Amino acid sequence: MATYGATLRRGLPRRPGGDPWPPAGDAPLEVAAQAAAPVTAPAAPAAEAPAPAATPVVETPAAQAPAPAAQAPAAAAAPVVAAAPAATVTLRRGLPRVPGGEPWPPASTVVVAAAPAAAAAVAPAAAAPAEVAAPAEAAAAPAAAAPVAVAAGGSGVQLAPAGSSVRRGLPRTAGGDPWPPAGTVVAAVAAAPVAAAPVAQAPAAGVPAAASAPAAAAAPAPAAAPVAVAEGPRPPLTLPRTVWAGKNADTRPAPVERTLIGPFSKGQWAIVVLFGGAALLLLAAMAVVAVRFLLSLEFMQDFQARFPGEYHLPEGAPVGFPAWLGWQHFLNFFLMTLIIRSGLQIRGEKRPAAFWSSKKNPKSKMSLTQWFHVSLDVLWLVNGAVFIVLLFVTGQWMRVVPTSWEVFPNALSAALHYVSLDWPTENGWVNYNSLQQLAYFTTIFIAAPISAITGFRMSAMWPKNNEKLSNLLPLEFVRKLHFPAMLYFVAFIIIHVILVFATGALRNLNHMFAAQGSVDGVEYAANWTGFWLFFLSLVVTVGAVIAARPLVLSPIARLFGNVSGR
């Protein structure tokens, strides 16, 4: 059988140019001094050897039978396990705890007890002499095994004895006491005994005997020597502290709040727009089908014949559009675009880049964006006043002001045609349909005055000292009315542009920007003059929107007041 050394295999050095690691003579903790061989001593006769108190003796029925005087007593051999001597083992040392320090743990030795031998020999019963005449039944008494203590873990090293103090380490919290608290002791843990299997002694075959001697029980193994453990509390380590809690160890990052645009976030708005658009398309398709079915009915056909969507204008109504109306149309488009943009900027402006104040009243200040918005409003009002005057002077008012109650059923008929996608193809050079007439009338004579009055009430030009006027138009009510008026203008412009391009783009653009058209509506249907004028006006408007910044507006604003950064 091969034998192996108790020393560890040495490897590469821990430092360049050093000795192989671990040092010569080190042995693993598990390898203790080998146990001595069990010594078997001859047992005394059964009559002379008293049984131990902890070892039960089992008597056989044959023990009650009479035995001859010449019978020789049976000799039983009990195994005696000798205790192994304790050995001293050097602990293996590892890397230092701090840079440049000594290897850890410090140089020390540990006393380790040898493991007891696990085998026990049981001697067979002696044979009876041949001279015995009266044979009797022989029975073997089973040997009762004493409990053998086994070291926990199988390493042969015992833990600290119960009641000894526990070594204290680093604190659990910054600036706290070492852990565990002073006075903590090791709890006692009872080891479960391992009982050896009983061994039954068989009688010798063919040998009669009066009675079998009871077998001797195996002697209990001696307890292992305890590991030498220092008593009393251990002092804290004298090594410098190398681990500290970070600056954010006791802080938890606050949950990131979602950026909301109104009641929803950006992702939720995308979902709303996607599903809302799909729902609107579905509703529009259903409306088209329903209106077409309605118009196919007989009573609706009679209604369309009576009210085709427009009515005849009064006698003397002008035909066509004068040149001044084209210029007015462009200026309205230009100013309304800038007014809507600057108004939206005011609603979202939190820290203005510059402020404007009047030369007459330097204490009254407004942001540069507000000054630009008010200035555009003034220009728009001036342009609107000129438009109203020319509208009534030239008779063009008859085209946009309803002159008959038939405007309402004709407007309904025109709306049904729009919904059914069978759009009216009237010639705007001569007459508008009734739905257009109502839309233009509402825009010119209702929406525009509401926007002008509410805007003037919110501006710095409003006489704040006049309590009667201020009470007549409360500021909160005016703000709630001004924004819907702006939304109406946005919707009107979008629908107006869509219909212009969907019902004959070149012809309609010639009417609005080039003041060209014919009664039959065919002569200028392929003329591109109006389109290029519209494109030029679009470029000018976009350029003005881009240029409307504090760098450009400040020099202009200084001509009418003072501009400051705060």
Q: What is the 3-state secondary structure (H, E, C) of 433-460?
A: CHHHHHHHHHHHHHHHHHHHHHHHHHCC
Q: Which residues, other chains included, contact 125 with Cβ-Cβ below 8 Å and sequence gap of 6+?
A: 74, 75, 76, 140, 201, 203, 204, 212, 213, 215
d(CA 167, CA 171): 12
Q: What pLDDT is stored for residue 469 in this prediction? A: 84
In this predicted structure, which of 6-15, 343-352, 485-494 has the lowest mean pLDDT?
Answer: 6-15
Task: Give the mean model confidence (pLDDT) for residues 517-530.
Answer: 84
Q: Residue 562 has what pLDDT?
A: 87
Asked if 219 and 196 touch (Cβ cutoff 8 Å), the reply is no
Q: Cα–Cα distance between 412 and 300 in angstroms, integer?
A: 11
Q: For 94-152, how does the pLDDT look when each residue is reduced to its tens digit (9 = 90+)?
A: 888 888 888 888 876 555 554 443 333 333 333 333 333 333 333 333 333 333 333 33
pLDDT-based confidence at residue 361 (cuts at 50, 70, 90): confident
Q: Nearest Cα to 245, choosing from 175, 168, 180? A: 175
pLDDT (0 to 100) of residue 437: 93
Which H, E and C letters describe 377-422, residue by residue?
A: HHHHHHHHHHHHHHHHHCCCHHHHCCCCCCHHHHHHHHHHHHHCCC
pLDDT at 187: 64
Q: Output the CA–CA distances (angstroms, integers) from residue 175 to 138, 171, 240, in the order listed.
A: 79, 7, 15
Low-confidence winner among 254-263, 337-346, 466-475 (lowest mean pLDDT) = 254-263
Highest CATH level, class, for 297-564: mainly alpha
For the chain, what are the domain ranges?
Answer: 297-564
302-317: b or e for each residue (b if 16 or more CB lie within 10 Å)? Answer: ebeeebbbbbebeeee
Type of residue found at 370: Q
Residue 215 to residue 552: CA distance in whole angstroms: 119
In 30-100 the beta strands, taken as DSSP E runs, fall at 39-41, 78-80, 87-90, 94-96
- Mean pLDDT for all residues in the chain: 74
Q: What is the CA radius of gyration of the chain?
A: 56
Q: How far apart are CA 426 and CA 411, in angstroms?
A: 13
Look up the pTM and report it. Answer: 0.53
Host H or E run for residue 16: none
Poorest-confidence range of 111-115, 341-345, 361-365? 111-115
List, for residues 471-514, the tens digit of each pLDDT value.
888 888 998 999 999 999 999 999 999 989 988 889 989 998 98
